[in-house]
Amino acid sequence: MIKGLLGRKIGMTQVFNENGEVIPVTVLQVGPCVVTQLRNKENDGYEAVQIGFEEVPPRKLTMPQRGHLKNAGMLARHLREFRADNAQEYEVGQLLKVDVFQPGQRVDVSGVSKGRGFAGVVKRHGFRGGPKTHGQSDRHRAPGSIGAGTYPGRVWKGQRMAGRMGGKRSTIQNLEVVEVIPDKNLLLVRGAVPGYNSSLIQVKHAAKVKLKKKG
């Protein structure tokens, strides 16, 4: 079975479960995706399925890209590879839909987080800032000391400081699938996922499934 699909983030809403409790969910449009290439252990050293998402007109792709997608039957804007237990179960040109996921399943959702521009340490890293009294006048949101004195005599690499925030690939793990709507290719997952509305996302089977504690 393939381990994931491509889609787009639609937005957030809320649904009610059978007990009348409110569940905040993110609505994702997942698929339909088309199989564009198969990887196997004999030729590539691993089993995987390359899939395409969102059809585009031919003028949007180069000649090599169109040649690569000729047998798939769809000129796809986005191509990604996903591992599969047995890639030979699939065929080039086969459509994959959201029904590969089931309610109650755990998934990992990856996307590019919203870009926030240049941000200070309070917003970017959650620093508490300086004191608000005792004569302090202009250090409310300053980082304070960024290193030691004589040793090591430099600022450590990776020191948390002000800088560009967001706009990076981010993954939220172990999100619960609340509902699957196959006829509309919609997937409802509990909680928030990275990115702005309509941004590209990847939905994969959870890599680290949380186990319920006994007792």
| CATH assignment of the domain containing 62 | 2.40.30.10
Which among 124, 170, 157 is positioned nearest to 143, based on CA atoms? 124
Phi, psi of 83 (to 5 degrees): -65, 150
Q: Looking at the structure, do residues 46 and 147 belong to the same domain, yes or no?
A: no
Q: Looking at the structure, do residues 125 and 67 belong to the same domain, yes or no?
A: no
Q: Looking at the structure, do residues 159 and 176 belong to the same domain, yes or no?
A: no
What is the pTM (predicted TM-score) of this model? 0.81
Query: Coil, strand or helix: which one is 64?
Result: helix
Q: Looking at the structure, do residues 154 and 175 belong to the same domain, yes or no?
A: no
Query: In this structure, what is the dihedral angle of CA atoms 5, 202, 174, 47, given to the nearest 10 degrees?
Result: 50
Neighbours of 77 (CB within 10 A): 14
Q: Looking at the structure, do residues 106 and 31 belong to the same domain, yes or no?
A: yes
211 band by pLDDT with thresholds 50, 70 and 90: low
Q: Looking at the structure, do residues 81 and 159 belong to the same domain, yes or no?
A: no
Q: Looking at the structure, do residues 178 and 77 belong to the same domain, yes or no?
A: yes
Q: Lowest-confidence range among 48-52, 195-199, 206-210?
A: 206-210
Q: Looking at the structure, do residues 91 and 148 belong to the same domain, yes or no?
A: no
What is the pLDDT averaged over residues 168-190? 92
Neighbours of 171 (CB within 10 A): 13
Is pLDDT of 132 > 90? no
117 band by pLDDT with thresholds 50, 70 and 90: very high
Q: Indicate whether 215 belongs to any domain.
A: no
Q: Indicate whether 189 belongs to any domain.
A: yes
* Tokens representing residue 8 in the block: 């787009």
Q: Looking at the structure, do residues 21 and 126 belong to the same domain, yes or no?
A: no
Domain count, the chain: 2
Q: Looking at the structure, do residues 139 and 85 belong to the same domain, yes or no?
A: no
Q: What is the domain range of residue 140?
A: 118-165
Q: Looking at the structure, do residues 137 and 46 belong to the same domain, yes or no?
A: no
Q: Looking at the structure, do residues 101 and 36 belong to the same domain, yes or no?
A: yes
Is pLDDT of 205 > 70? yes
**CB of 80 closer than 8 Å to CB of 51:** yes
Q: Indicate whether 122 belongs to any domain.
A: yes
Q: Are strands 48-55 and 33-39 parallel, antiparallel or unpaired?
A: antiparallel
Q: Indicate whether 132 belongs to any domain.
A: yes
